[in-house]
Amino acid sequence: MKCFQDKTVLVTGAASGMGKALTVRLTHLGAHVVATDVNDDGLLRLADDCAGSAGSLRAQRLDVTDKVAFTDLVEELAADGLDYLFNNAGIGIVKEVKDTTDEEWQRTMAVNQQGVLNGTLAAYDVMRRQGSGHIVNTASIAGLMPAPMLTAYAMTKHAVLGLSLSLREEAKVYGVKVSAVCPGIVETNIVGADQMQRLQLDGDDPFEFIRRKAHIKPITADQAAEYILKGVEKNQPEIVFPLHGRMAVASFRNMRKVWEVAVAGGLKVMRNEG
């Protein structure tokens, strides 16, 4: 993948999961990666994973909800050119709407929606001036279809798709590319330790339940990063992966009744009624 060699890349949420896997892969492809997160320990550990790579790593704390800090960093990078922004940071709260607190709605919107908007607007300014660049916003298959029990999350991911796909068309005339990443189930830390404990499904943690009882194989963050970078290289509008993710979206669109029955079964288990 030559398109990342010697390029300047900003990644948010780089201390864990897909952001970390993207950072490691990109540095090994010869990119100069500015890896950001709110997890300072995770950022420190990145240096080992990127050691010996053809590119370079700069790890820096950035909370994506801090518009001023995000804009300042993007403008600083603009001095030498910013080629890619991976707006990857995100959080997921698994709860029914009736149990979701106001703080959880606000936090989900702040990180997943406003955080992506903060980065997009800052990078779009810079990239328009440059006449080049690629903004890669991580949404989810939950941005292409409903995700009951993850409604706040789904709302923000639909917003990310709306932003990204609309801007993509506007941005063409300025030489700027925009893509939306829509992963299916990737085994990362997104569920978090607290939720993993709370969410025992038939006695399993969520990823184990998905694997053993739903017969869906979550992919690794590293596999996800490979899909993402291939999609970015091809400048795909929506990068939807893996097969289980594409099938979920297709069944929602084309076999709605089947999809509804499957979802109802899943909801029963999540409510401990199954």
Ligand X SMILES: NC(=O)c1ccc[n+]([C@@H]2O[C@H](COP(=O)([O-])OP(=O)(O)OC[C@H]3O[C@@H](n4cnc5c(N)ncnc54)[C@H](O)[C@@H]3O)[C@@H](O)[C@H]2O)c1
Say if residue 80 is exposed, middle or buried (CB neighbours under 10 Å; 0-12, 13-18, 19+).
exposed
Q: Which is nearer to ligand X, 53 or 112 (CB)?
A: 112
> Which amino acid makes up residue 144?
L
85-88-89 Cα angle (round to 5): 125
Whole-Å CA distances, 249 to 67, 144, 158, 240, 246: 33, 7, 13, 9, 5
Q: Is 71 in the site for ligand X (CB under 6 A)?
A: no
Alpha helices in the chain (DSSP H): 17-28, 40-50, 67-78, 102-108, 115-130, 151-171, 192-198, 206-212, 221-233, 243-254, 256-270
Work out whether 149 is an interface residue with ligand X (CB under 6 A): no
Q: Which of 84, 124, 153, 227 is catalytic?
A: 153
* Residue from the set 28, 30, 65, 199 that interacts with ligand X by CB under 6 A: 65
The minimum distance between CB 192 and ligand X, in angstroms, equals 7
User: Of 118-126, 178-186, 195-203, 225-233, which segment contacts ligand X by CB under 6 A?
Assistant: 178-186
Residue 69 · residue 122 · CB < 8 Å: no
Interaction of residue 119 with ligand X, rule CB under 6 A: no
How is residue 187 written in tokens? 């085994």
Q: Is 242 in the site for ligand X (CB under 6 A)?
A: no
63 near ligand X, rule: CB under 6 A? yes
Q: Is 153 annotated as catalytic?
A: yes
**Token pair of 48 as six digits:** 């080992």
Question: Cβ closer to ligand X: 130 or 224?
Answer: 224
Cα distances (angstroms) measured from residue 64 to each of 10, 11, 21, 171, 236: 12, 11, 19, 22, 24
- Quick note: the x/- pattern for ligand X over 185-214, rule CB under 6 A, is xx-xxx------------------------
Which position among 8, 9, 13, 133 is part of the footprint of ligand X (CB under 6 A)? 13
Q: Counting every residue, how long is the chain?
A: 274
Nearest-approach distance from CB 62 to ligand X, in angstroms? 6
Q: In whole angstroms, how close is the CB of 68 to ligand X at the nearest point?
A: 14
Candidate residues 9, 11, 15, 73; the one interacting with ligand X per rule CB under 6 A: 15
Q: Which is nearer to ligand X, 126 or 144 (CB)?
A: 144
Of the pair 41, 273, the CB lying nearest ligand X is at: 41
Question: In angstroms, how far is CA 19 from the centroid of its own chain?
Answer: 8
Query: Cα torsion for 1, 41, 120, 229, to the nearest 10°?
Result: 20
Among 4, 10, 12, 252, interactor with ligand X by CB under 6 A: 12
How far is residue 47 CA from its own chain's centroid? 22
Q: Which residues bind ligand X (CB under 6 A)?
A: 12-13, 15-19, 37-39, 42, 63-65, 88-92, 111, 115, 138, 140, 183, 185-186, 188-190, 221
Give me the active site residues, please: 153
